[in-house]
Amino acid sequence: MKQCFGYVRVSTQKQGEGVSLDAQRNAIEQFAARNDIAITEWFEEKQTAAKGGRPVFGAMLKALRHRKAAGVVMHKIDRSARNFADWAKIGDLADAGIDVHFASESLDFRSRGGRLSADIQAVIAADYIRNLREETIKGITGRLGQGLYPFRAPIGYLDNGGGKPKTLDPATAPLIRRTFELYANRQHSLRSLRGELERLGLRNAHGKPLSKCGVETVLNNPFYCGIIRIKRTGAIYQGVHEPLISAALFERVQLTKADKTNKKVTKHNHTYRGLFRCAACHAAMTPELQKGHVYYRCQTQGCPTKCVREGELERVVQATLSRVRLTDEDVTKLTEEIEAWCETREEPDFAATAAMQLGQIDSRLDGLTDALIDRIIDNDTYSKRKEGMLLEKARIAEEVKLKQNQRNDPANVRRFLELIKCLAATFLFAQSAEKREIVDIATSNRRVLGKYVSLEPANWLQTVEDAIAGLYGAPHRPASRNGHHMRKKNVLALIEASKAKEATKLRSVLHHDNDNDADGALRRHRFQRRLDSY
């Protein structure tokens, strides 16, 4: 009795759960019984034969080359190979005297005619795969053109079957949105963000915490703002699914990721890192922890600004925010005035303006496609520019929707004024991250000169202050506008005086520095550049 191997195969793991493998085994066993063959070992594989590199198939070929069996029995030709490389390996077995049998094919693989018939069927099987691949790609491209994502939904979305858009997952969508917000606020690196997401309970499709690479994949995926990007080809499509985040937030995250010069997080993660600058040399004030206190120090050599305590920064911020004091009566009067203004104000047609802008973007997209067809630009450039234009379209649509929701609605103003009324108290009792966000949003021109800290209310906060002054007159203001400008002029005068003093010192050093070595020349060049900047 001739000893042979048995080889059965299905294309996917899911197909392996069915009855196909058992049916192939039964057919091979019946063939072996009729032809006096003993199956000594079974090789079972759950992988497509359209491509080479099947591990079980390779192990079987290796065993046959070592003559561990006289031959192999397979169910059909298309179960053995669907590509010419693997079919050639089967042909090499036959040329080496190893028997190749097909249970459902009446072929004599050792004869010329049988070999020719088998080769023809193998070509047909390979052509079937090529045609199937083309039709599959055509179907996928068609779905993408419709704005549908025909692959597994990313984290934060749910699959709803073929031909239907992905929908938000109520369990994970808020966590994905929080992921973008945390990173955009520059309070986390990828590593620390991964730990925070694990603490919040975000898991991948396998129920495990996201890896650092997984977090980066989420942050890089424009699917969350409504744009489909195919990673393998770089193709870009406009999706019809509901965006999870705004296009503006997605772009903020990309800019934060691209900024390699500033750390997203530090060991101590000081509250006001990067928000205050030296008024003399414009360098960022660097925080340091010394004896339990945080100091913000200018690191420029020779700069008159040395350091200032974090408590002093917070005192000045608190004083600035306290300048805007709103009572319930203030809120009521401002709301009444805005209601009267809204009744007489003619609303601009935001929709018409947006439609014109969107039309211009569509024209640019058509021109971009023409440039690709004419080979003026390559595919990578086309994909990047198209993604940028689609993000711009999404941002315009979001702005129109926001303005329509806020149109002539005094209730929005009342909610805004209620928040402003307790802004100083909110800052006083806020957590570190919240304090940083308040300072970043509500103040501007944050400078330190020597021990003196100066900052100004942001434009929107200044507008509120002006509105209060308009209701009650200048005496209601905690500080007059002239006094504010005088303090600003005094700070500027101090800065100019400091610069003049520093310039005089540099001229003296340059005049008396006679060292002719390389270090001396480099030192004089550095001093001269600083003097030129003054």
pTM to 2 decimal places: 0.58
479 falls in which pLDDT band (50, 70, 90)?
Answer: very low
Is the confidence at residue 483, as pLDDT, over 50? no
The pLDDT value given to residue 44: 92
Q: Higher-confidence residue: 363 or 412?
A: 363
- Convert the pLDDT of each residue in 9-36 to its tens digit: 988 887 777 778 889 999 999 999 998 9
* Mean pLDDT computed over 461-466: 72
**Residue 219 pLDDT > 90, yes or no?**
yes
Gyration radius of the chain's alpha carbons: 36
SS (H, E, C) 7-62: EEEECCHHHHCCCHHHHHHHHHHHHHHHCCEEEEEEEEEECCCCCCCCHHHHHHHH
pLDDT for the residue 359:
86
pLDDT for residue 487: 46
For residue 69 the two structure tokens come to 């069996």
Q: Tokens standing for 121? A: 């069927």
Distance CA 194, CA 353 (A): 41
Q: What is the pLDDT of residue 223?
A: 94
Axis crossing angle, helix 212-220 with helix 190-200, rounded to the nearest 10: 100
456, 323 Cβ separation under 8 angstroms: no
Q: What is the three-class DSSP state of 346?
A: coil
Whether residue 110 has pLDDT greater than 70 = yes
Structure tokens at 476: 């209601």
State residue 340's pLDDT score: 72
pLDDT of residue 180: 93
> Minimum mean pLDDT among 120-134, 142-156, 168-182, 203-217: which range?
120-134
Neighbours of 532 (CB within 10 A): 9
**What pLDDT score was predicted for residue 227?**
92
CA distance 226 to 162: 18
Q: pLDDT tens digit string along 286-343?
A: 888 888 889 998 888 888 888 899 999 999 998 888 877 777 777 777 777 767 766 6
What is the phi/psi pair of residue 76, to 5°? -140, 170
The beta strand positions in 153-210, using DSSP E, are 157-158, 167-168
In 3D space, the residue among 38, 35, 50 whose CA is nearest the CA of residue 103 turns out to be: 35
Alpha carbon distance 357, 389 (integer Å): 11
Average pLDDT value over all residues in the chain: 81
Which position has the higher pLDDT, 348 or 290? 290
pLDDT of residue 418: 72
- Above pLDDT 70, what percent of the chain? 80
Residues 278 and 447 sit within 8 Å (Cβ to Cβ): yes
Which tokens belong to 140?
């996928």
State what percent of residues in the chain have pLDDT above 90: 22
Q: Are 45 and 54 in contact (CB under 8 A)?
A: yes
- Tell me the per-residue pLDDT of 58-101, one tens digit each, with 9 for 90 and over: 999 999 999 999 999 998 888 888 888 888 888 888 888 899 89
β-strand 286-290 against 293-297: which pairing, if any? antiparallel
Phi, psi of 7 (to 5 degrees): -125, 125
Residues in the chain: 534
User: 429 CB contacts (<8 Å, ≥6 apart)?
Assistant: none
Q: Is residue 248 over pLDDT 80?
A: yes
